[in-house]
Amino acid sequence: MADAFRQALSDAQGMVRRWSEKSGLAQSPDASTLSMAMGSALAGGKAFRAFLVLESSRLYDVDEEPRERAAFAIECLHAYSLVHDDLPCMDDDDMRRGRPTVHREWDEATAVLTGDALQTLAFQLVSNPRVGPHAASLTESLARASMAMVRGQMADIAAERVETPLTLQEITQLQSEKTGALITWASTAGPQLVGAHSEGLSRYAKAIGLAFQIADDVLDETGDAAAVGKAVGKDSAAGKATFVSHLGLDGARARARELVEEACDALDTYGDAADTLKQAAQFVVDRTH
Amino acid sequence: MADAFRQALSDAQGMVRRWSEKSGLAQSPDASTLSMAMGSALAGGKAFRAFLVLESSRLYDVDEEPRERAAFAIECLHAYSLVHDDLPCMDDDDMRRGRPTVHREWDEATAVLTGDALQTLAFQLVSNPRVGPHAASLTESLARASMAMVRGQMADIAAERVETPLTLQEITQLQSEKTGALITWASTAGPQLVGAHSEGLSRYAKAIGLAFQIADDVLDETGDAAAVGKAVGKDSAAGKATFVSHLGLDGARARARELVEEACDALDTYGDAADTLKQAAQFVVDRTH
């Protein structure tokens, strides 16, 4: 992993920890169950989406508080989706980010409400007046991304219940909603925070979002549960159509590499300032967890 | 029920139906499961919170689109909380608003995601630029109300698991979070939409919020499931502390009547213009469902 990216990702993780503490979500003897469960859901993540917000903000000279609010918000929204996704009625997972899932550590009702509260917190963070004059439009675009995510999750569940496996095009569409929408929001938060628009960052986000999912499918096939921090091999065992089942392992890896190139090309206008984002694109396909 | 209030409530119900259709949530052959489930959760409600938004908006001459967005948003937020509350891991209810709950009509995963999507839609509606210059602060206060609601729900669950029944003060605090926060937001949305503050509407909201919950406890004790549209007698059967268990049926009814008077007094500054809101306060304690 390239040094600049390694450092920036570690900074983003530190920022998430700081905002978790600031928001009263850290482990402490007098914390409520809700606070502890929210803090637990936020802990130990890669903070990749927060990193994207912070880096795209750097390109647009966004002030510290607005960019950190947006970065923490996207991690809250992502964490909410994981807590609900892990529920017994959804993916029924026991482990997440190397620790017990919220419904395993506490119970299902706590997990439902913890996810609900994390979603609420995300919107509370970005609609705050301190985000500046573009708070409302940033909040609305976060809501659109969040809605796309839920649509993608519904499509994912529906796909598991039909006999015909999804086509490559259908999987691509589903993933662009399920995981791509939040990655796109994060990658374009910087310009959005100053009322600007960036075609380059949108194209970058689209490419890494897809590469991210392809890499996830590859990891599900080849990864080690301990390193990945959650169960692996579930999709393949379930006979689910994935990028790997369509393209094969080598084909999927090759497609991911192509997408990394597309992502880097899209950032040409930013010159060296975008080097860390380019390293991030590479990380997306090289990661082992 | 007084005529002006009856008409205004029916108008609010019509508005919710209109916005459900406009948002693609009505029943139609080509609607997605998510849209149908969201529409089902929104259908058949009293639209009392929407009514509060519309009436408080009338007192402050708020334009049609901002007030309708806020009114529909609070109904979406309320509907989300009902869908999740009804889940097997929470209250495990089969009926709501006279029809099967979302997890009974579809399944649990659909109910989790439907609630999630309704919460998202609420924030999307109020952060839209068409809400005007106060969109961000209105969104933030909606998030605060939503967070208070989840805290109240957590406290409610925790209370069921301890041997000592809650004191009257604890129940009052719990209810002010669980149901009072949304009612306060709805009752003050009008002034908030024009950047104003109303002490009177805040006091009104606090009083009717509490009266509403007391009336709910009375209904749970005395109501008829068919008229109420959901199961009754559950709290009393579970030996749960309620306003009725503390004050007795007559005491609870007397306290509710006192609160209606407090609510009406708080609106004195508005003169006749607040008559419909005063009738609403009366309705809160007189309702049979």
Kindly report, residue by residue over A226-237, the tens digit of the pLDDT: 666 777 677 767
For residue A121, the chain B residues in CB contact (below 8 A) are 143, 147
CB A112 within 8 A of CB A84: yes
Nearest residue to A125 via CA among A61, A200, A189? A189
Q: Which amino acid is at A192?
A: Q
- pLDDT of B289: 64
Instruction: Give dist(CA B11, CA B143) in Å, integer.
Output: 26
To test the contact with chain A by mutation, choose from B112, B128, B141, B174 the residue with the greatest count of A C-beta atoms within 10 A, namely B112
Query: What is the residue-averaged pLDDT of chain B?
Result: 93
Kindly report, residue by residue over B168-194, the tens digit of the pLDDT: 999 999 999 999 999 999 999 999 999
Q: Which amino acid is at B81?
A: S
Query: What is the residue-averaged pLDDT of chain A?
Result: 93
Kindly report, residue by residue over B22-33, the tens digit of the pLDDT: 999 977 777 899
User: Which residues lie across from B96 on neighbouring strands?
Assistant: B99
- Chain A, window 148-167: residues with a beta carbon less than 8 angstroms from a chain B beta carbon: 150-151, 153-154, 157-158
- Tokens 């916005």 belong to which residue? B19
Please give the angle made by the CA atoms of B67, B54 and B138, to the nearest 5 degrees: 45
Q: Which amino acid is at A118?
A: L
Once rounded to an integer, what is the mean pLDDT over residues B213-217?
92
To test the contact with chain B by mutation, choose from A124, A128, A130, A137 the residue with the greatest count of B C-beta atoms within 10 A, namely A124
CB A15 within 8 A of CB A68: yes
Please give the angle made by the CA atoms of B36, B40 and B43, to the nearest 5 degrees: 135
- Helix orientation angle between A199-222 and A275-286, rounded to the nearest 10 degrees: 20
Give the DSSP letter string of B89-115. TTT--SEETTEE-HHHHS-HHHHHHHH
Element containing residue A268 per DSSP (H, E): none
| Whether residue A92 has pLDDT greater than 90 | yes
At the fourth CATH level, the homologous superfamily of domain A3-286 is Farnesyl Diphosphate Synthase (1.10.600.10)
- pLDDT of A125: 98
Once rounded to an integer, what is the mean pLDDT over residues B212-241?
79
Once rounded to an integer, what is the mean pLDDT over residues B253-265?
96
A106 band by pLDDT with thresholds 50, 70 and 90: very high
Can you point out the beta strands (E) in chain A?
95-96, 99-100
B1 band by pLDDT with thresholds 50, 70 and 90: low
Answer whether B195 touches A (CB < 8 Å): no
- Three-class secondary structure of residue A246 per DSSP: helix
Q: Decide if A136 and B129 are in contact by the 8 Å CB cutoff.
A: yes
| Whether residue A2 has pLDDT greater than 80 | no
Which residue ranges make up each domain of chain B? 3-286
Q: What is the DSSP letter of A91?
A: T
Q: How far is CA B108 from the centre of its chain?
A: 23
For residue B135, the chain A residues in CB contact (below 8 A) are 136
